[in-house]
């Protein structure tokens, strides 16, 4: 039996993220991360019969949560290809885009998906179950130096070199096939009282590599700058510093690295301007949904300047 949308994934910062879109009742909007459909349902409440919502999710499990509403078009695909998918629907511009990044509660709670440190299952971690690359290939075939770089950059683990060395030493004897085996190999390198925290960082690093998450986010943000009409809104919820840093930098300067160029008068041309301060969940929301603890919401408005890639 398929889970209900609420048990599939509890939407984080629901009211704040949708209000941030400043929805026009007859506008065209995008929910880039459909999941259990919580944010989509809230957006639909603000649309009239002329409004339209295009939602994306690359996970076939999420697509089963489709809402029976003629104003919604649910697309099974990666938001990195959002612009092409929308073109196929005859849509060139939209009034706003919302994205709730990261992993859903459903994905974590499904043992066979290999996302959780709690279960002993095959190493997978694919958000798109049709994708070829899995955590097994990453951990058993990647060069030690590349593993070290992934653990350091995507997991922000200071002992990345030690972890990579231990995994390579273990796989030389036999392949690392399950999450339980991985946990046993690396747990000795983590503080005893913080093993779960550090394992979560390791899993995050592998998951980001398997799914190309940061590159997908970059592509989505660049496309959002083209797709969103002047005055339209971008509403992004992130869960770790790597995602939030990319979102923050892009909103601030239209770039992911470096500083935007200034014209003769010292002005810069950027696609967005932030609409307010960083928004985080209330203590009440965190108590009701502990996974909301690390969430950060940034909202920005599309400026008049032209932006192309």
Inform me whether the pLDDT recorded for 2 exceeds 50.
Answer: no
**Selected residue with higher pLDDT from 139 and 115:** 139
What is the per-residue DSSP string for 199-216?
HHHHHHHHHHHHHTHHHH
Mean pLDDT of 291-304: 93
The pLDDT score that the predictor gives to residue 108 is: 67
Average pLDDT score over the chain: 91
**What are the tens digits of pLDDT across the range 176-203?**
999 999 999 999 999 888 999 999 999 9
What is the per-residue DSSP string for 230-283?
EEEEEEEEE-SHHHHHHHHHHHHHS-SSS-PPB-TTS-B--SEEE-SS-B---H
pLDDT over 70 percentage in the chain: 90
pTM of the model as a whole: 0.91
The pLDDT score that the predictor gives to residue 70 is: 97
And the tokens for 62? 């999420």
Q: At what angle do helices 179-187 and 195-211 cross, to 10 degrees?
A: 130
CB 236 within 8 A of CB 99: yes
Closest CA to 231 of 3, 4, 24: 24
And the tokens for 76? 């099974």
CB 47 within 8 A of CB 95: no
Indicate the pLDDT class of residue 7, thresholds 50, 70 and 90. low
The pLDDT score that the predictor gives to residue 1 is: 38
**What are the tens digits of pLDDT across the range 8-34?**
668 999 999 999 999 999 999 999 999
**What are the tens digits of pLDDT across the range 214-272?**
999 999 999 999 999 999 999 999 999 999 999 999 999 888 887 777 666 667 778 99
Domains, the chain, with CATH or none: 5-105+213-302 (3.40.50.150), 111-211 (1.10.150.170)
């Amino acid at each position: 039996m398929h889970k209900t949308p609420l048990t599939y994934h509890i939407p984080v910062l629901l009211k704040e993220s949708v209000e941030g879109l400043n929805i026009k009742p007859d506008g065209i909007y995008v929910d880039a991360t459909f999941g259990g459909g919580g944010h989509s349902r809230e957006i639909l409440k603000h649309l009239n019969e002329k409004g339209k919502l295009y939602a994306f999710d690359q996970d076939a499990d999420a697509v089963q949560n489709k809402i029976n509403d003629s104003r919604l078009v649910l697309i099974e695909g990666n938001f990195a290809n959002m612009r092409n998918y929308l073109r196929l629907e005859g849509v060139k511009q939209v009034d706003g885009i919302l994205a709730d990044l990261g992993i859903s509660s459903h994905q974590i709670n499904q043992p066979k998906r290999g996302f959780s440190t709690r279960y002993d299952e095959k190493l997978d971690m694919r958000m798109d179950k049709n994708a070829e690359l899995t955590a097994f290939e990453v951990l058993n075939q990647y060069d030690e130096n590349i593993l070290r770089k992934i653990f350091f950059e995507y997991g922000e683990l200071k002992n990345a070199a030690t972890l990579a060395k231990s995994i390579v030493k273990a796989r030389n004897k036999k392949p690392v096939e399950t999450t339980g085996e991985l946990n046993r190999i690396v747990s000795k390198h983590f503080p005893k009282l913080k093993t779960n925290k550090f394992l979560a960082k390791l899993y995050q690093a592998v998951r980001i590599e398997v799914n190309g998450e940061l590159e997908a986010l970059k592509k989505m943000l660049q496309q959002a700058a083209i797709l969103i009409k002047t005055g339209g809104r971008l509403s992004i919820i992130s869960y770790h510093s790597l995602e939030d840093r990319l979102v923050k930098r892009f909103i601030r300067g239209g770039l992911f690295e470096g500083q935007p160029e200034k014209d003769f008068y010292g002005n810069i041309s950027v696609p967005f301007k932030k609409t307010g301060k960083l928004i985080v969940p209330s203590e009440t929301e965190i108590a009701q949904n502990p996974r909301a603890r690390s969430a950060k919401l940034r909202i920005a408005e599309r400026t008049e300047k032209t932006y192309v890639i």
